[in-house]
Structure 1
């Protein structure tokens, strides 16, 4: 669960700097609000519609971070994970993975990336 404020803050701060907005289910939405981060609360699948899965299906979500805590949460997360993967939406299920992704996204927004073909490095 993303209700651990220290862990949550380490993920959202870089994403805020990169211009992301946040959609979260109730517990995470409250934790974001407590941190002063604007967000939109959305229902879990079992709570009705529209829910997080609907937003993934409608291509309204670009990145999913789902850190299930207990066994029930892990079962609930299976469908959103499947939908995210089927629709090419990046999906992170661990705090270190989400932190690394957030840091990488922020780094891409902070500086220009110069791409070269590998052949360019070996050209004479």
Structure 2
């Protein structure tokens, strides 16, 4: 049984390429990778996200917009985020699903629905993290949201599996993790 978990994360130059899209295509190449290493998966994820400039906040307002097939599982995960002290805002479909599941959220307009919308909240610094699993129906809005995330330095997650590990990171982030040299992990 290992005494540590090492998690590798690719680093992409999104912050250097204004207007680039966070959705990876075959032409996008990483500029390197970072490693988070810790006693637990959550702490390793926390370190890796911090190292690749996607820091995990431990409070604030989280924007949520998920595709239909993700809504049921997302509601369970979002409930856990609320239990950890976060507030949620969501686009109409996600807001309705959260409401039906008993998870409190504020309804926010999509970009195409008028103002004030999610981009306004990001520009005002009101969003601490964004969770967006988009489908083909909402591609235009999703692309604008991703651009706003980059421009406003909002931490961004695009899969429910990343949210599961994010929850571990948040739950474990209060634990002390000693600072060790890499070779110390191999002793």
CA shift for structure 1 position 92: 1.2
TM-score under structure 1 normalisation? 0.81
- List gaps (5 residues or longer) in structure 2: 1-65
1:97 aligns with 2:183: no
More helix by share: 1
TM-score with structure 2 length normalisation? 0.56
SS at match of 2:170: helix
Within 5 A, what are the aligned runs for 1:26-45? 26-45=92-111
Post-superposition shift, 1:9? 2.7
| Secondary structure of the corresponding residue to residue 166 of structure 2 | helix
Corresponding residue of 2:143: 78
Higher strand share: 2
Does the 8 A contact of 2:71 with 2:94 survive in 1? no
Equivalent residue of 2:140, what SS? helix
Distance 1:96 1:44 in 2: 24
Aligned length: 119
Cα distance change of structure 1 residues 53 and 80 upon mapping to structure 2, 3 Å threshold: same
Are 1:12 and 2:12 an aligned pair? no
Residues 95 and 117 of structure 1: is their aligned pair in 2 closer, same or farther, counting only changes over 3 Å? Answer: same
Unaligned runs of 5+ in 1: none
Answer yes or no: is the 8 Å Cα contact 2:75–2:97 preserved in 1. no
